[in-house]
Structure 1
Amino acid sequence: MKIYFSVLLISILFINYNTEAQCLSSSGDGTFDNTSNYNQWVKMAGSGGVDYGIFTYETEEKYLGSGALKAQVTQQASWQMRMVSSANCPQTVEANKNYKVVFALKGPERGTVNVTLDYPSGGTDLLKTVEANTEWTKHSVVFTPTEATTELRIKIAFVDVGTYYIDEITFGSANVDCHGDADGTAFIDDCGICAGGNTNIVPNSLCPVQFITPDDANIQYQGALFKNINNSSAELYRFTQDYIAGETYTKLDQFYGPHQAKGSRTQSGISIEFTTNSAFVFMHFETLEHSLENGIRFTVFKNDEIYMDNISSLDFIITNEQETLADYKVYLPSLHGVKFIGMDIDETSSLSLLDEDTRPTYMAIGNSITHGVGQDNASHLTYPVLVGQQLDYKVYNLGISGSRINEEVFRNLAGIEGGPDLLTVLWGYNNLKDDIALATQLEEYQRLMTQILINYPDTEVYAIMQSYTSTVSMNHENNSNSVADLRSLMQNIIVDLQSQYSNLKLIDAWDYTDAEGLNDAVHLNTNGAQTLADGIVDAILKNKATNVNEEIETQKGLNCKYNSNTKTLDINKEGDYLIYSINGQLITSGYSLGSVNLSSIPLGIYILKLDKLMCKFIAH
């Protein structure tokens, strides 16, 4: 009887000790500093006789202290591979108050972990999900229980296959900021916006503000063929209204040919332009429904120079402390669809009227290489935008990630009155993936190019051959489609069409790209996109040079000739000169003794003025 009483007393003491001192405090069961802490957790690795993994005590890989819990998930499960805090360690909560579960986690990249509150009745409340990564990371998950209890338990489930480590689990009350972060520092600023903390929004003390709606007449949207704009939002599409098929998209993965609908609803190359003297501009966006969501990156140009970059928040502030009149261009992400909600500016400022943009138009057709995969989701780093900047053309990017050649894209050319002035087509890599002979697939390429050339004889059309890729071929059950065959077949089609249409030219992108310019097997990195853009511009300008040189020869009194080898301009007169871009921006000035060194100016078309005479030339 004495022995029995001693064991019973020890058990009672242990229960009391665990409830009052251990549980889920900073030194409790969640520290896993010993096997006793580890054993306090109920660990269930299966359901219905099926094992989904194994739990073990870990002493080598831990966040703090002496140990951690290791969960090895062998098959994906939403809740079957789970751990639950002990019934000996109940938590007391009040309804509608904030609590937090804090823990350190390491696991497979983006491995899913579900955290829930379990009630004694068997109900589960407020599922929250976090993602693991390959380094130890501290997580703080906030809950607001819907009912009060003194017997709450914490359940953590490991979902995706892989090995997880969890340590330093605690539970307690939470002070939640306006961003929803436990013990966070975000607050409502003077403009009524949740800012600071983890919001990526700079607190603003420059209110009161005036709200500028998306349909304001002093905002220009560049690069969009179809714009759905009202006073509450601006949805901007690179394709014409019938092509994006917005009203019927909801249940469709593909439409009008083999390309991705979600990709067509992104805004690669689209920018929002305005001029203001406001001390700040608070931009507001939302994610566009049914579009790709591959990472947000806004870039702001101020007076034609990069002012802000790598902006990952849908709400951000552009500051202008000098309060001088400035031109702004906000490039939208290339692979994450957004819609513009409007902007706040200070109450005493306004937007200025913008001049009509009469520049020539450039349209680029293609797949993910044209869309911008590999350039960190930055529109301004895609090769179509880089080409447009060098030539001073308006840009329309019709590239769609994952797309195959399809002649339906032809309809979008009608979105520009009279068609584009310049068109490039770089397409075909994804056709290698289909078990269909390339010769058969490229019949559609020939039909597309023929339609373009027949219907738009005044458009300069450049067929661009496949850029450098480490892919050699893709083998299928019935066909082996090689890059070499793609290039050869496409070149044959282009050469044949060139004999019939004088406005078709050929550019071989392989000449301007290499292994160092790749982000993966085929997509260009930022350097690769730049070298391709430079090559395209160089080829275009060389083709234009003949016409421009003919024009120069007809001018009397002033002759100038650009030497592409020495990067100098030879002029038949001496005197003070001014050199302007084709849109009138002063590039450089000086005194000419007959030759001017122009090695520092980018490729492009320029106007030289000297003694009230003018001469046009191309730097190439």
Structure 2
Amino acid sequence: MFRLNCLLLVIVLLFTSCDKKQNRVATYRNVDIKDTKIKVKGANYVDRSGEHLCWSRFPEEVLSMPSTQSMFNADKARTNSGVRMQFKTKSDRVKLVFLPQLGDNRGAAFAINQNGQPTQTFEFNAQESSQQMTIEVVNQHPGLSTYFEVVMPSWANVALNSMELWGTSELEELADDSKPVYLAIGNSITHGVGQGSATYLTYPYLVAKSLGYDYYNLAVGGAKVSQAIADMTDELPKADLITILIGYNDLIFSGKTVAEYITAYESYLRSIRNNHPYAKIYCITLTYTKAEKSEKTGITPDQYRLALRNFIYHEQSKGDKRLFLIEGDEISSVENLRDDNPNDKVHFSIKGAELFAKELIEIIGE
């Protein structure tokens, strides 16, 4: 009889355990993704009106311009480099479902920060990121109000399709965390070519995180000096810090003369300065490249560097005390370039982006 009772007790415990597990699986529940307790950073244009929570770094009127006017490719501009989604909850787990949107797609790498510390990463290749992507975030501080930040991929355009929290947990109000604002403006080097599709490995992300800035990445792969981007910076929060690294595509692919490059740069910089009168602006000359000259014009990178140096010195002499020059080829070298693609003449590897960020941090942080 004693053995029979023990056997019955074990059976009861097993069924109880199974019931608990089933209940545990069933405790996820949907929350409203239109809830403004979900904040989006790094994208000034957020749409909560449709089925998905969507965001964009650029306004639609700029994206719809002909590329000959905008000076960049709209599909590349629709990608999410620098975009972060933030929320706060006590939930032990959070399930997030993302869907791809219109734009270039080179895969999707997400990073999760909790209370400011990196905790998880999720990677989807180009094929996987062309369909629904589900990530499950485990709270490293179970039962406590935890601040989550989801860092979006740099070379995909995604939207939040759903969010599920565990048990009875709710979204909580985020405290006001006003920080100085950093705008990173440029082309594919700043966008993040060479760091996969991982915003969290790009140099602007590393600079912003180290210096404690909120930031917007306004770089687009293949972009040339773009008056449209300069003009639209008026719609962004007033910046405290701006870095500009632009010109490689003007030299190599557009074949601009030195005079044409500086004329375009002058108008471009004037608009940025007018829109952000108190920002410290760091203009970076062309970084190290294996490209020796433009095949179209025969003009060398050094000629562009010299011209930009002289132009910035001239602007400084007119009294702009918040305008600075950084010699790009002095803080980069062949060591920065991609080791996974030796034929790439200009883009940084993951390690190269980190090294470049460290150089900028040292200069800007002085």
After TM superposition, the score normalised by the length of structure 2 is: 0.85
CA change 1:308–1:350 in 2 (3 A) is: same
* In structure 2, distance between residues paired with 1:230 and 1:307: 31
Question: What is the aligned partner in structure 1 of residue 100 from structure 2?
Answer: 287
Aligned length: 330
Q: For residue 286 of structure 1, give the secondary structure of its aligned residue in structure 2.
A: strand
* In structure 1, distance between residues paired with 2:30 and 2:73: 35
1:533 and 2:351 aligned = no
Q: Deviations 1:386-423 (Å, cap 9, x if unpaired)?
A: 11111111010000001111222112222224x21111
Q: Residues 232 and 342 of structure 1 are in contact (CA less than 8 Å); yes or no, is this contact kept in structure 2?
A: no
Q: Residues 96 and 163 of structure 2 are in contact (CA less than 8 Å); yes or no, is this contact kept in structure 1?
A: yes
The structure carrying a bigger helix percent of its residues is 2
Question: What is the aligned partner in structure 2 of residue 392 from structure 1?
Answer: 212
| Displacement of 1:320 | 2.9
In the TM superposition, what are the counterparts of 1:201-220 in structure 2 within 5 Å? 206-220=25-39
Question: What is the aligned partner in structure 2 of residue 41 from structure 1?
Answer: none
Which among 476, 481, 488 is matched to residue 306 of structure 2?
488
1:297 and 2:297 aligned = no
* In structure 2, distance between residues paired with 1:459 and 1:335: 28
State the AA in 1 paired with 2:276: Y
Q: For residue 353 of structure 2, give the secondary structure of its aligned residue in structure 1.
A: helix
Q: Percent identity among equivalent residues? A: 28
**Gap runs ≥5 in structure 1:** 1-202, 543-620
Q: Residues 154 and 199 of structure 2 are in contact (CA less than 8 Å); yes or no, is this contact kept in structure 1?
A: yes
| Displacement of 1:235 | 1.6
* In structure 1, distance between residues paired with 2:63 and 2:23: 38
Q: For residue 294 of structure 2, give the secondary structure of its aligned residue in structure 1.
A: strand
| Structure 1 runs of 4+ with >6 Å offset | none
Larger radius of gyration: 1
Which among 368, 372, 378 is matched to residue 198 of structure 2?
378
**Gap runs ≥5 in structure 2:** 1-21, 339-343
Q: For residue 315 of structure 2, give the secondary structure of its aligned residue in structure 1.
A: helix
Which among 75, 91, 106 is matched to residue 278 of structure 1?
91
Q: For residue 360 of structure 2, give the secondary structure of its aligned residue in structure 1.
A: helix
Which among 342, 347, 361 is matched to residue 162 of structure 2?
342
Query: Which has the bigger relative contact order, CA under 8 A and spacing at least 6?
Result: 2
1:466 and 2:278 aligned = no
State the AA in 1 paired with 2:308: M
The structure carrying a bigger strand percent of its residues is 1
| Displacement of 1:230 | 2.8
* In structure 1, distance between residues paired with 2:180 and 2:312: 25
CA change 1:295–1:488 in 2 (3 A) is: same
Question: What is the aligned partner in structure 2 of residue 592 from structure 1?
Answer: none
Q: For residue 531 of structure 1, give the secondary structure of its aligned residue in structure 2.
A: helix
* In structure 2, distance between residues paired with 1:503 and 1:274: 35
Query: Aligned-residue CA RMSD in angstroms?
Result: 2.0
Q: Deviations 1:92-139 (Å, cap 9, x if unpaired)?
A: xxxxxxxxxxxxxxxxxxxxxxxxxxxxxxxxxxxxxxxxxxxxxxxx
* In structure 2, distance between residues paired with 1:445 and 1:224: 24
Q: Residues 85 and 150 of structure 2 are in contact (CA less than 8 Å); yes or no, is this contact kept in structure 1?
A: yes
Q: For residue 26 of structure 2, give the secondary structure of its aligned residue in structure 1.
A: coil
Greater mean deviation of Cα atoms: 346-355 or 420-429: 346-355
| Displacement of 1:455 | 4.2
* In structure 2, distance between residues paired with 1:256 and 1:339: 28
In the TM superposition, what are the counterparts of 1:62-73 in structure 2 within 5 Å? none
After TM superposition, the score normalised by the length of structure 1 is: 0.51
1:264 and 2:77 aligned = yes
Q: Residues 450 and 497 of structure 1 are in contact (CA less than 8 Å); yes or no, is this contact kept in structure 2?
A: no
